[in-house]
Amino acid sequence: MPFKRPSSTRDSSQSSSNTGPRLKRARSRSPSHDQASSSSRITVITVYIVQAKLDPEIVSDLFRVAEGDRVFEGGHHNGVRFHLCHDVSEAEVIVTAVHMRRRLERHIDWGIAKDRAIVTPQWLLDSAQQGKSLPCGDYAALHDLQDETEHNCPDTDCHCRSGSESHSPPPNELSSLSEPASPELAQQHDSVAAAEYDVSKLSLSHTARYSCCRASPLICPNQGLVAELDVIRRSRSLEGEERSALSYQRAIAVIKAFPKPITAKNLHGEVSKLPYLGQKLMSMIEEYVEDGQITESAKNRDSPRFQALSAFTTIYGIGPHTARKLHAEGMRTIHDLEYHFGEKETSAGSELSSGDGHAEDEEKILERSIQVSLTLRDDFKEKILRDEVEEMNSVVMRELDALLTGCTSTIVGGYRRGKPQSNDVDIVITHTDAKGGAAKIKGLCKKFVRRLYERGLVTHVMHLSSFRAPNALRTTQWDSLEKALTVFILPPSPDGCQPRRRIHRRLDLIFAAPEVYWTAIVGWTGSTMFERDLRLWAKERRGLKFDSAGITRRHDSKAFFPKNEREVFKLLGLDWVPPLLRNADA
C-alpha cells in the first residue's frame, strides 16, 4: 500500500454534511483563536462566500480579503483574520449578495442559515479594513434573518494584544543561528516580506504550456471558478481516475495564471485559446460565468461517497486507493476508521527507537501513521499561521545548533509561496560548510530527530528515510534526500507566565548536502503542479532530470550543482519564478 501524504484539511471541509452539526462555532476550533501568536492575539473568523449574484471580479476580491491576501492600507488588518471555508456547515459568517430566502435556499440549507450570521459582502470588506469584526446586524443580508444574524455574529471583544508577553524567542538570538556563512546561502532570505520583484518585468506568459513558465499567484482573479473545478479534480482523484484528475489540475493551473476575471466577454475569445481548456472544460467555465457555480461540482460536493472519501484522505497515510478500500469494506465516517484501526496508544516510530535493528514492516508503519493521525486529527485540522511556522523553525534550528553548529535552513512548502496558513511545516536543512557539509549532513536526520524526540519536541515519527535505505513507502515523486516526517509540538513558553496552547503539528525535515541545497528548496517549495511541470520541462526541453536531490543530464548522468535558486532556473533554461508566483494548484 503506498504511503500517501494527506489531503489538506481544507479538503476535509467537504466531508462534513451540509446539514450536519457544525464544528461548534468554528471559532473555538479555528486556527488561532486560542493560540498565542508571537506578538498579538488574533481572532479568526470562518467565512463562507455564496458566489451567486456576485461579479467574478467582486468574488475574486472577496476571496483575496478572506484569504488574507488583500491587506488594507494603514496596517489595520491585524485584529481579525478570516479563514475561508468551502463547506458552509463550517462557517460562522456567510457572505452573500442574495436577499431573498427562496434564492438563498438554492445554495444553503435554511437550518444552517438560521444558525449563522448572514451578511452582505460589505461586512467582509469593512471588517477587514477596520481590522475587527463589525456588528453583523448592521450588514444583515436577509431581513428574515436580521435577529439571527445579530445573535450569531462572532464576538471579537477578546482580541486584545498580548504585547510584551510574546513567547517567541528574541528575533536576533534565533536568526543568528540560521545566519548563512556563504554568500550563496545568504540568498535564502527571500521571505514574503523581502520579496522584491516587479511582476511586469518577469518574462512569464500566462499562455505558456508549462506552469513553471507562468506567474501563478496564491489567489487569482478567478479563484471562485478554481475552487469549483478543484472539487471535480479531487473527486476524480479519489475515484482513481488519475488522467482525468490531471486534466482538471492542468486546467486549474492555467486559470490560476490568467490575469483577469473570466467574463462572458472574453470567454469565447482569449480564454478559449488558453492551453488545456477543451470543450468540456469550456462549457463548465461558461456555466460558472453564467450561474456562479458548476452543476457537477455541486453534485460531487453533495455526494456522500465523495464526502466520506474526502474525509478518509485527510488522515495521514490514507490515499485514494486505501480510502476506496475502506469504503468498500463499509466504512463511512472517521469514527468507523477509529473503530477499524483502534485507538491504541501510539509511540514514536521504531525506526527511531530500534537503533540498527530491523525496521518495522511497511504495513505496520502505515497502520501506526494512520492511528497517530486519527488520534491527533483535531490538532492536525488546525491551520498553522505564519508566525507559528517561523517559531517552529527557530526552535528546530536552535536545537540543531546544539547538536551541530553551522547548519542553516529554509522554510519551504506553502509558507514560502506566501500561504497565510499552512497544513504542515516543511523545512530544508543543510550545512554552511560548502566542502565538508555533505559528510556532516549524512546521518544527521536520524540523530537529530532522536534528539527532538528525547526532548519531547517530536512526539511521533511517521516516516524516516536515509540515503542508504530507500524506503518503499516513498511515493514516486519522492527524492533520495534524508527526511523525517514527524509530529512536533512547541515547548512550553519560556517564562511560563502565560501558558501557550500546545498543538501537535506536522513537521517535515529534509536534509540536503550543500551542493543540492537549492534543488531541494526548489523541489520542496511547490506547488505540486509547478513541480510536475518543472520535471516535465527539464525532461522534454532540456534533456535533464530534475528532482529535489539534484539535476542530472539524462544521456550521461552528469550532475549539476547550482549555487543559488536563480541558478537552478538558469540551468533548466527557465526564467526565475518568484516563490509567491508558483501557486499553480487550487
Q: Which residues contact 440 (CB under 8 A, 6 or more apart)?
A: 404, 406, 431, 433
Question: Hey, which residues does 119 pair with through a beta bridge?
Answer: 95, 140
Beta strands 384-385 and 421-422 are: antiparallel
Q: How far is CA 174 from CA 162, 219, 339, 397, 500, in A?
A: 21, 31, 44, 8, 19
Q: What H or E segment, with its residue span, contains residue 458?
A: strand 458-465
How many residues line the site for Mg ion (CB under 5 A)? 4
The item of ligand DCP, Mg ion, none sharing an interface with residue 60, based on CB under 5 to 8 Å by kind, is: none
The item of ligand DCP, Mg ion, none sharing an interface with residue 475, based on CB under 5 to 8 Å by kind, is: ligand DCP
56 belongs to the binding site for Mg ion (CB under 5 A): no
Among the listed residues 413, 523, 562, 578, the single contact to Mg ion using CB under 5 A: 413
413 belongs to the binding site for ligand DCP (CB under 6 A): yes
Three-state secondary-structure class, residue 204: coil
The item of ligand DCP, Mg ion, none sharing an interface with residue 210, based on CB under 5 to 8 Å by kind, is: none
Q: Which residues contact 461 (CB under 8 A, 6 or more apart)?
A: 348, 349, 351, 352, 449, 453, 484, 485, 486, 487
Phi-psi group of 448: left, alpha or beta (phi > 0 → left; psi -120 to 50 → alpha; rest → beta): alpha
Q: Which stretch binds ligand DCP (CB under 6 A): 117-125, 162-170, 348-356, 422-430?
A: 422-430
- Residue 401 CB, nearest approach to ligand DCP (Å): 24
Adjacency order of strands within the sheet including 80-84 = 80-84, 43-49, 93-95, 117-119
DSSP codes, 286-297: HHHHHHSS-HHH
Question: Hey, which residues does 8 pair with through a beta bridge?
Answer: none
Among the listed residues 60, 346, 430, 527, the single contact to ligand DCP using CB under 6 A: 527
The item of Mg ion, ligand DCP, none sharing an interface with residue 527, based on CB under 5 to 8 Å by kind, is: ligand DCP
Give, as ranges, the residues between 199 and 228 that touch Mg ion (CB under 5 A): none
Q: How far is CA 395 from CA 42, 162, 173, 302, 513, in A?
A: 22, 21, 11, 43, 21
Q: Judged by CB, which is closer to ligand DCP: 19, or 475?
A: 475
- Residue 245 CB, nearest approach to ligand DCP (Å): 13
Phi and psi torsions of 17, nearest 5°: -70, 145
Q: Which stretch binds Mg ion (CB under 5 A): 158-166, 181-189, 420-428, 562-570?
A: 420-428
Q: Judged by CB, which is closer to ligand DCP: 4, or 167?
A: 4
Of all residues in the shown chain, the one whose CB is closest to Mg ion is 413
User: Would you tell me how many other CB atoms lie within 10 Å of the CB of residue 256?
Assistant: 28
Q: Judged by CB, which is closer to Mg ion: 414, or 420?
A: 414
422 belongs to the binding site for ligand DCP (CB under 6 A): yes
Q: Which residue shows C-alpha cell 488561532?
A: 32
The item of ligand DCP, Mg ion, none sharing an interface with residue 524, based on CB under 5 to 8 Å by kind, is: ligand DCP
Q: Which stretch binds ligand DCP (CB under 6 A): 166-174, 315-323, 330-338, 416-424?
A: 416-424
Q: Which stretch binds Mg ion (CB under 5 A): 70-78, 413-421, 487-495, 565-573?
A: 413-421
424 belongs to the binding site for Mg ion (CB under 5 A): yes
31 belongs to the binding site for ligand DCP (CB under 6 A): no
The end-to-end CA distance of the chain, in Å, is: 27
- Residue 420 CB, nearest approach to Mg ion (Å): 13
User: Would you tell me how many other CB atoms lie within 10 Å of the CB of residue 244?
Assistant: 15
DSSP 545: E
Q: Judged by CB, which is closer to ligand DCP: 97, or 487?
A: 487
Among the listed residues 61, 228, 388, 426, the single contact to ligand DCP using CB under 6 A: 426
Q: Which stretch binds Mg ion (CB under 5 A): 138-146, 396-404, 411-419, 466-474?
A: 411-419
Give, as ranges, the residues between 461 and 480 that touch ligand DCP (CB under 6 A): 475, 477
Binding site for ligand DCP (CB under 6 A): 5, 8, 413-414, 419, 422-424, 426, 475, 477, 524, 526-528, 531
Task: Catalog residues that contact Mg ion under the rule CB under 5 A.
Answer: 413-414, 424, 426
